[in-house]
Each structure stands twice: as C-alpha cells, then as structure tokens.
Amino acid sequence: MNAPAKLNLSLVVGPLRPDGKHEVETVLQALELADRIELEPAPALSVEGFPEDTLVRDALAALRAAAGSEHWWRVRIEKRIPVAAGLGGGSSDAATALRLANATLAEPVGDERLHALAARVGADVPYFLVGGSQLATGDGTVLEPVSLPTDYAVLLVLPHGVRKSSTASVYAALDARDGARGFESRRAALRAALERVSSPRDLATLPPNDLCSSPLAASLVALGAFRADVTGAGPTVYGLFERASDARRAADVLRAAGQVWLTRPARLP
C-alpha cells in the first residue's frame, strides 16, 4: 500500500497549549510521492527496509495493546520519500501500517479509537489515516476536509548540505522570537483565504509557513512557481506550477542547489 508524502500548503503557529504543544492551523495536502508498505501477521514484530524506523514500531505496539491481540506483524518499508525532510514520511508509514494491521484483526479497532492511537504516536499520523486535503487545527490532530484544486505540478527541493533541525528546536526558535504573536489574525486570514480558493493560483494567497523560510522559495517563484514555501519544519522547499513542463525546467536549474523530486497532489480514491 502507498504511504503518501504531504505538503503543508500553509502553517500558522500559535502559543503553547496547556499540554505543552503549540496551537496550529495548517493546510495539509497529500502527494503522489509515496513510500510502499507491506504487512502481514507474524509471531514477532519486525520492520524491514528502513532500520531507522521508530514510528511504525510504536504504532503497531499501541494497536496490539489497544486491541488486546496476541499477534504481531512483519512490515516491509520501501522508502521513496526523503527522510527527515518535513514531508511526513515516517508518520505516513506509521498510519499506513496501522490501517493494514487493523484490517488483519478479528475485531478491528474503530475509526475514532484508531485516530486516538495515531495521535499518541505523532501529530501528523492521524492525518495520514485520511489523507487528501485537510485543515488541521488544535495540536494538528483535529482534521476537517477541505475542497482544494489538485491540477498542478509540485517540485520538491531538498537543499544540499542542510540538515533537518529537530522539530522541538524549530518550535523553540519560534518561541524565542515571539513568533506566535498575532496568531488569531493570521488564523483568520488563513480561513478567509481558504474560502476564496477556487483555482490552483489561489493557493498563493494562503499565509506562509510561520516556522521556516528559505531563499530557495524566491528562486522557485523566479522560475515560474505560483507559490513556493518550506513544508512543515523543513528543510524541503516546494514550488507549485501550473504546467509540469515548467516544473521540469525549474528542476533542471535547481539540481545544483539540492535534490529534486517532481510529483503531483494525490487525489482520494
């Protein structure tokens, strides 16, 4: 089964909540770029193909405990999404493994309980249980489907020599610069912009990423992207293009700056 990557088409971050997490308002879009997950029942838990995995293991252990199951699973991960890039690959793998493992149970866990299990594993994991275009609020686990255009090309650029900062450190830097100030007005602007989106170019009116920025975004716009920004906590930068041919030309130019991937938004089946 495919485990898709995601973009944060907009990410507005607010103050710390009582639970120690930040309030967020973010527009999430699944991509055709995806890992592949294979899963089957097994006498012991094993995850092959990606030794660095922790989220799939955590997710399956949580499911086994919640279901009171005596069984484990063997999982094979084929990585295609760049690791530690802000594209949610680990969270997507965990969500996909949860869905596949749950389907093998004699009494599968219900949707609400599965969502709660996913939220305990990571803030992005519940999103990948549903995918598509979603507005995520609260700590990022409260989801609302939104209708967005998907007829555009996506160019992803992972800059050479840039290592992903921990998500905690990125949020700490936001707090240090008082980046949550004005959250309510930015959240209102995001909601208002979402209501006006009817064509791909309208996505350019969404507020930018509060957590991160990159000079590569300006390069992507200069090369024809109608919107460019960092996704998640970075460091991947994305550009949205009306024509795939323009995205391919931009990719050729930017290969000197970073690894590139061409993809498109994933539509729900």
Closest CA to 150 of 5, 266, 33, 11: 266
pLDDT bucket at 268, cuts 50 / 70 / 90:
low
The tens digit of pLDDT for each residue in 132-179 reads 999 999 999 999 999 999 999 999 999 998 877 888 899 999 999 999
Per-residue pLDDT, 164? 79
In the chain, list all ranges with CATH 3.30.230.10.
2-145
Q: Is the pLDDT of residue 269 over 80?
A: no
Per-residue pLDDT, 134? 98
Fold for the domain defined by 2-145: Ribosomal Protein S5; domain 2 (3.30.230)
Task: Examine the residue annotation and report whether 79 is marked as an active-site residue of this protein.
Answer: no
Widest pairwise Cα distance in the chain: 56
Per-residue CA distances from 15 to 114, 178, 191 (Å): 28, 9, 18
Question: 91: exposed, middle or buried (C-beta count within 10 Å: 0-12, 13-18, 19+)?
Answer: buried
Closest CA to 180 of 11, 14, 12, 10: 14
How high does pLDDT run on average in the chain?
96
Fold for the domain defined by 153-263: Alpha-Beta Plaits (3.30.70)
Please give the average per-residue pLDDT across 205-230, as a whole number: 97
Per-residue CA distances from 127 to 26, 136, 239 (Å): 11, 8, 22
Q: Which has the minimum average pLDDT: 59-73, 157-171, 195-209?
A: 157-171
Is 211 within 8 Å of 233 (Cβ atoms)?
yes
Torsion angle of alpha carbons 56, 126, 116, 44, nearest 10°?
-20
Output the six-digit token pair for 165. 């900062």
Handedness of CA 39, 45, 46, 51 (dihedral sign): positive
Per-residue pLDDT, 235? 96
What percent of the chain has a predicted confidence (pLDDT) above 90? 94
Task: Examine the residue annotation and report whether 124 is marked as an active-site residue of this protein.
Answer: yes
SS3 label, residue 16:
strand
Per-residue pLDDT, 177? 93
Per-residue pLDDT, 168? 87
Q: What is the DSSP string of 69-118?
A: ---EEEEEEE--SPTTSSS-HHHHHHHHHHHHHHHHSSSPPPHHHHHHHH
Is 24 within 8 Å of 133 (Cβ atoms)?
no
- The pTM score is 0.95
The catalytic position among 35, 53, 93, 124 is 124
In the chain, list all ranges with CATH 3.30.70.890.
153-263
